[in-house]
A and B are shown apart, each in its own frame.
Chain A
Amino acid sequence: MNTAARADYRRYLRLDMMPHILCPGCGHGIVLQAMLRAIWRLGLPQDQVAVVGGIGCSSRMVGYVDFCTLHTTHGRALPFATGLKLARPELTVLAIVGDGDGLAIGGNHLIHAARRNIDVTCLLLNNAIYGMTGGQVAPTTPTEMVSATTPGGALEPSFDSCKLLEAAGASFVARGLSSAPIDLEALIVQGIQHQGFSFLEVLSDCPTYYGRYNRLGEGPEMLQAQRRHVDWVAAPLADKAFVPGFADTAAVADVALQYGVLHRETRPELSEQVHRLIAASVGEGPT
């Protein structure tokens, strides 16, 4: 564990891949830095870290970090990560997915990774919209909010991904904020340390589309709004418009939006079980 106040995260960047593609004011870069600081804090050997992404603005970030990096197909980061972890359990495997990536096209893989309790730390960056394709509605867009494909406001309710993942069996569930990067770093540290499937929903901001379509201001305004309306333990969700991912029902106004570690349990981890089975079976029976 590195304890120095100032984290040396730059060593993990592929500077020769810069400039990056993220827009000014995008919250994703803050999340990436928090992840790198968490890796530095834990002192993980760089060669033994694999970062897997799907498709979207958030997933593109895996290219900028100097680990074993795998930028896969839309929605499918977790099955790639599962194969990687089972094949080489000593690797620390992280997955960075987006909200459309993880909850729409990849929703099935997400719940099955949680059910298996494979030791992968999954950061789902939720900005309530499809950013890379130009601002279409996502399964996390709150009702009534505007997107390129819901010009009159979204009709459908949205997912609460943390509740979904807890129900699916994730043994570590947390919610972090791009506007609270120090806390986020601590959450990611805990997620990586946890043996089993660790799910972190990180509320991020997309000023380019979500902010613009819904007149929420630029990056700084969107981040400030996150801070105003959410707090470490629990706070009333006063203004849903600034907090992506929450349904617009009358009840929600009174429901506390929680952030921090929401669920933690100890149960058998898959790669360990698989390799224990293998150790007991090697040489057994005709081959």
Chain B
Amino acid sequence: MTATLLQGNQACVRGAIDAGCRFFAGYPITPSSEIMEGMATMLPRVGGVFIQMEDEMASLAAVMGASLAGRKGMTATSGPGFSLMQEHIGYGAFAEIPCVIVDVMRGGPSTGLPTSPSQGDVMQARWGTHGDHPIIVLAPASVAEVYELTVRAFNLSERYRTPVILLYDEVIGHVRERAELPSLESLGVVERPQPNCPTEAYRPYGDGAQRVAPLADFGSGYRYHVTGLAHDERGYPTQDPRVIARLHERLHAKLQDGRAEIVSYEGEELDDAEVVIVAYGVSARAARRAVSEARRQGLRAGLFRPRTLWPFPDAEVNVLARSARALVVAEMNMGQIVYEVERCARGQAPVFGCLRADGQPLTPDEILARLVEVRAGEAEVSR
């Protein structure tokens, strides 16, 4: 642990460099540009390549090109740029190319509120690209956690051969705070396994049993094909329904199998909580204050904070719904994760939203007021 005064976006740069990121391509956009600027300075010092591309589509494409050549790569953007990256997120998920995409959320839709926070991209992070695809999305709530989850994002991306999205809001990106950074040894750094079979025997994609095949670097002696078309274990395009079904099942199963490692969350004051707040990112910080204030007033509140948004901690939320009288989801949008929580609750506890989408962060007071309303039975479900 070392304590430093750091900005969220700077912590992301530090985490990326420490995790072994050696390629960055990006396009300027508020409020994520500090990440690109930081990478432009830091990467050459550690032997890494930095390039500013002509747009966000090109940025993620260049990152994936570099990743196939064996360099851990990252790009960073915000709402409009994140929309432009969606096609390539699907490409990366389907072709199984490790990469990290940072989306610093600002008010949307469209140009929206470029300098104001929002949590409006959580469903886009899950479903923004077309077609079925598994994805990992991590949501830090502090500067220290930005560092930690950036390292984790690279590790998960390499381990599961998938794009990982690091999703946080403008406040977390721009806040400067004292951050106790966890040691790199405690986090570990995952390096991509390389194949050691004869070149003719190499298959770039797993079969049913082998979930994640080792990814050979282009130029390392293994020649193979990568495509965004449905493909077989060799990477060759196929229309065979059995092969395609097996591919989709494997892609989903690889994250399902890894759930215990991938899904991460924190609980506070949950043991005896009658009302549980579910909150992530900066909203969780307001929620934490609301919980302690509620407890002071005799309302037994608790906080469940997913650090992994996708895959969603379904089972954990379901357990909470069984013991709590009500769940309140505090988020800075018109209602996104609240419906996910409602799905997981399976009717065992009513779910209420505490929502705000005006470019301002939720305050502890408004979350507290919502808790009081919910306990008094005066709140409407899911709103």
Contact = CB atoms under 8 A, between A and B. Distances in A.
Contacts of B222: 47
A82 B54 CA distance: 12
A158 interface: no
Given A17-B236, A71-B227, A82 B221 contact: no
A80 B62 contact: yes
B57 A287 contact: no
A68 B58 contact: no
Interface in A41-83: 46-48, 50, 52, 62-63, 66-73, 76, 78-83
Interface string A197-211: 000000000000000
Interface string A151-167: 00000000000000000
Interface string B215-228: 00111111111111
Contacts of B269: none
B63 interface: yes
B23 interface: yes
Interface in B24-51: 25, 41-42, 44-51
A86 B225 contact: no
A250 interface: no
Contacts of B59: 79
A80 B219 contact: no
Interface string B60-93: 0111111111110100000000000001100100
Contacts of A90: 219
Nearest to A284: B45
A262 interface: no
Q: Which 10 A-B pairs have the closest CB atoms?
A: A83-B65, A83-B62, A79-B58, A79-B61, A87-B66, A281-B44, A87-B69, A84-B65, A71-B227, A88-B69
18 contacts: A46-B223, A47-B221, A63-B225, A68-B219, A71-B226, A71-B229, A79-B59, A83-B65, A84-B68, A87-B67, A87-B73, A88-B69, A274-B49, A274-B51, A278-B47, A278-B49, A282-B46, A284-B45
Interface of A: 14, 16-17, 46-48, 50, 52, 62-63, 66-73, 76, 78-88, 90-91, 108-109, 112, 274-275, 277-278, 280-285, 287
